[in-house]
Amino acid sequence: MSSALDISVQIVWMICDVKDYQLLQSKLTELRPHHTETVWEEVGDLIIDWGEKQWEEGGRFHLQTLEKGGANPFETRNLLDFVMQVYEFAGESALLKKIVHQFELANVYSDQAGLSRKFELYETLIEESYPRIEKREGDDEMHYYFTRSLKRLAQLTENWKGEEESIQLWTRLAEYGLESSDDERMSILKEIEEKAPWFAYANPELFLASEKAKKYIEKLGGEVSDGLTKSEAKVLIRNLRDSEE
């Protein structure tokens, strides 16, 4: 039995039979310095492979079934959690694998039972993915996880802390979108208009790339110029609104 396989079996056994989360975490932390980053990445891969194979064979785990009600949510959430931590032990080479599972974990965490952890998971995803973005396009994986995590964090903040607390997050997402590729810019701005229409209405100058915003300006009787700055657009739209009233 290889070292990685031995460790993966030990971790899976603990997840299945030890219900104390803190105890599990402390045992995993104790194991960390005794193995290389390469071994830890192999451990993570083995746990994922095991989870998928045993589900196919009628087992109780599968990492993609939480939302379908086909697995024990607490056990599967723990499996996601500890796989994420194992990939973190593996360092930079396994960072994308860690981010993939952390994003899924954040999405399935209950707002009521795990709100603070849910916030923490999204915040870490944003912090780790942003400096590793190579191009602001849909096929850049770090771009994908940064924008999706930032959007979900903004929504979570708005829902639980109020619109005012979420303004900075929506602004960051909109400004990031304005510097992205054409398709991504339109997609990001459309998402914000749908998820936070109050923000789009209050900050029209950020949405000049949006067809919806252009039509709105034209409806008010204004003209959209490609050379219009954000501050000029803000004055224009406010003046148009005032004249409409």
Q: pLDDT tens digits for 52-75? A: 776 666 555 555 544 455 566 677
Supply the pTM of this predicted model.
0.80
Residue range 166-211, pLDDT digits in tens: 999 999 999 999 899 989 988 998 899 889 988 988 887 777 655 5
Half-sphere exposure of 133 (CA within 13 A, CB side): 19
pLDDT at res. 66: 46
Report residue 198 CA to chain centroid gap: 22
Mean pLDDT for all residues in the chain: 82
Helices (H), the chain: 3-17, 21-31, 37-56, 73-89, 95-108, 115-129, 141-161, 163-178, 182-195, 197-202, 211-219, 230-244
DSSP 69: T
The share of the chain scoring above pLDDT 70, in percent, equals 76
Using the structure block, give the residue that is written with the tokens 């770090």: 142
Q: How many whole angstroms separate alpha carbon 141 and alpha carbon 148?
A: 11
CA-CA distances (angstroms) from residue 216 to 167, 172, 195, 219? 22, 23, 18, 5
Domain ranges of the chain: 1-98
Q: How many whole angstroms separate alpha carbon 207 and alpha carbon 233?
A: 10
DSSP 170: H
Single-letter residue type at 144: Y
What string of DSSP letters covers 186-238? HHHHHHHHHH-HHHHHH-GGGGTTSHHHHHHHHHTT----TT--HHHHHHHHH
Using the structure block, give the residue that is written with the tokens 């299945």: 16
Element (H, E) at 64: none
pLDDT at res. 111: 82
The backbone torsions φ and ψ at residue 111, rounded to the nearest 5 degrees and listed phi first, read -60, -40
Residue range 98-124, pLDDT digits in tens: 999 999 999 988 887 789 999 999 999
Q: How many whole angstroms separate alpha carbon 87 and alpha carbon 100?
A: 10
pLDDT at res. 53: 76
SS3 assignment, position 18: coil
